[in-house]
Amino acid sequence: MSLPKPQAGEISRRRFLGLAAGGLSAAALAACSGGPSTTSTDSSGKPETLDYTGVKPAGTITFWSSNPGSSQEVTQQIIDAFHQSQSDIKVQLVSAGSTYEDIAQKFQAAQAGGTLPDLVVLSDVWWFRYYLQDSIVPLDGLFKALNWDTGDYREQLLSDYKYKGATWAVPWARSTPLFYWNKAHFAAAGLPDRAPKTWDEFAEWAPKLKSANAGLQNAFQLPALAGYAGWSFQNNLWGTGGGWSAKETFDVTCDKPESVQALQFLADAVYKGKWSGVAGKDSTQDLSAGAVSATVGSTGSLVGILKVAKFDVGAGFLPGGPKSTSPVCPTGGAGVGIPKKIKPENQVAAATFIKFLTSPANTLKFAQATGYMPVRKSADTSTLTSRTPQSQVAIDQLAATRNQDWARVFLPGADQEMANACAEILTKNGDVQTQLTKLKGTLEGIYNTQVKPHLK
């Protein structure tokens, strides 16, 4: 069954979340997912811009982070610099788990009666659940109160958090997937020192890599499926003209011939060509150890790869497919936001720190330490790229990114269902068409029961 497509102008990506916020059961949104349960909130119309006139910042605030990209050390350095720059506000960094899901659970528990943070990491996929719960504050009043000009943020990143005429988070640890390779392995195989332009081209290179590099585990290592399949495999799907769903609609297309073609290519790489494997934990660690010649991983993994690898590491754009070579790359990562149920004094103090945290100088410092992209246009990236030339690739690729499929980011629990289907195909040799047809039924079930009734 094919889901009806919205008529032209009927519903945009942003309008969907606006409608969802107005009536969609947040408890239903959280069902089938590993994140927090939420309650329905009536937030029709544009949120009121809060007035912080005369509000003095609190003296002490807490920042909950999952330390994405092993960023705890550099984040603490930025906090220390903030303390040196002024004496009114002290920031305490709290490690609230190691994943976005960990923070979601802890933040939800705090809503039910615990101690809330004053600012919190918000995944680009998870943040709207907090919005639906009415548990985060629109930041526009704080922008005004602090004379905070947001025009310098990269629009592709800031716009991810703009809904219903308000801004709900500020981009911080933002990323795209990159194609990483072992330059020594490529040289030994007589291959060009670049990322392949298409996956078909890499399939031609793979036997040469295995032949030229004794003891090689795999020419390519697919990312660990949990948390990555739904995200990174959009690249493969888009390259064939497929997708988890049709562009900017809820028409689930994961079982269409083009989508089946993309996943069949990956399955053949594992089982027929035997040049690819599936990472058990982290494919970038497998690359860094020299066990594989190439992989796809987040820009947030770049610095970690370079620290561990004993060889020159290449980084390039994601390969395209037989139908499309651009844009075939999604963005990802996280921003930071502020809880609603804290005192205005704490909200002002938190915003003051976020402004400092994401300043041009500090977004550059954060990028240098982690590999995430600088989120400010005015950040002088020359120092960054001179130290780490590979980081320029992530900045350049940003112009060739595409919004993620609605089926992944707007259907609650869909990302895990995608990972489960990919695991059946890539680790159990399940039939591709059968598994993707089953996945379509699951996704349509989520849409029909939890989303469609609320779109009117």
Q: For 108-142, how does the pLDDT look when each residue is reduced to its tens digit (9 = 90+)?
A: 899 988 899 999 999 877 787 788 778 999 999 99
pLDDT at 124: 76
Which option is the CATH number for 177-330+404-447: 1.10.150.120, 3.40.1360.10, 3.90.800.10, 3.40.190.10?
3.40.190.10
Backbone phi and psi for residue 92, each to the nearest 5 degrees, phi listed first: -110, 120
pLDDT at 17: 52
- Closest to 213 in 3D by CA, of 316, 306, 311: 311
pLDDT at 44: 47
pLDDT at 13: 54
Q: Across the 456 residues of the chain, what is the mean pLDDT of every consecutive 10-residue run?
A: 41 50 39 35 63 95 95 97 98 94 90 93 81 88 96 90 89 95 98 98 98 97 91 97 94 98 98 97 96 95 92 97 96 93 97 98 94 93 89 90 86 89 98 98 92 67
Residue bearing tokens 């009114």:
88
Amino acid at 116: L
- What angle (nearest 5°) sits at the alpha carbon of residue 416, between those of residues 260 and 125? 105
pLDDT at 39: 35
Each as own residue / partner, the long-range contacts of residues 148-155 (CB below 8 Å, 24 or more positions apart, any chain) are 148/351, 148/355, 152/360, 152/376, 152/377, 152/378, 153/358, 153/375, 153/376, 153/377, 154/373, 154/374, 154/375, 154/376, 154/377, 154/398
- Closest to 176 in 3D by CA, of 369, 325, 331, 317: 331
CATH topology of domain 26-175+333-379: D-Maltodextrin-Binding Protein; domain 2 (3.40.190)
Instruction: List where CATH 3.40.190.10 sits in the chain.
Output: 26-175+333-379, 177-330+404-447
Amino acid at 350: A
pLDDT at 31: 34
Distance between CA atoms of residues 418 and 414, nearest Å: 6
Residue bearing tokens 């811009």:
49
Per DSSP, the residues of 11-58 read --HHHHHHHHHHH--HHHHHTTSSS---------SSPPPPP-TTPPPP
Q: How far is CA 87 from CA 80, 126, 345, 357, in A?
A: 11, 33, 16, 16
- Closest to 418 in 3D by CA, of 165, 283, 217, 229: 229
Distance between CA atoms of residues 346 and 117, nearest Å: 9
Helix (H, G, I), strand (E, B) or coil at 170: strand
Q: How many CB atoms lie within 10 A of CB 413?
A: 18
DSSP state of 243: -
Per DSSP, the residues of 186-206 read HHHTT--SS--SBHHHHHHHH
**Are the CB atoms for 310 and 249 separated by under 8 Å?**
no
Distance between CA atoms of residues 335 and 50, nearest Å: 21
- Closest to 153 in 3D by CA, of 301, 419, 373: 373
Give residues with Cβ within 8 angstroms of 367, minimum separation 6.
Answer: 373, 374, 379, 381, 384, 391
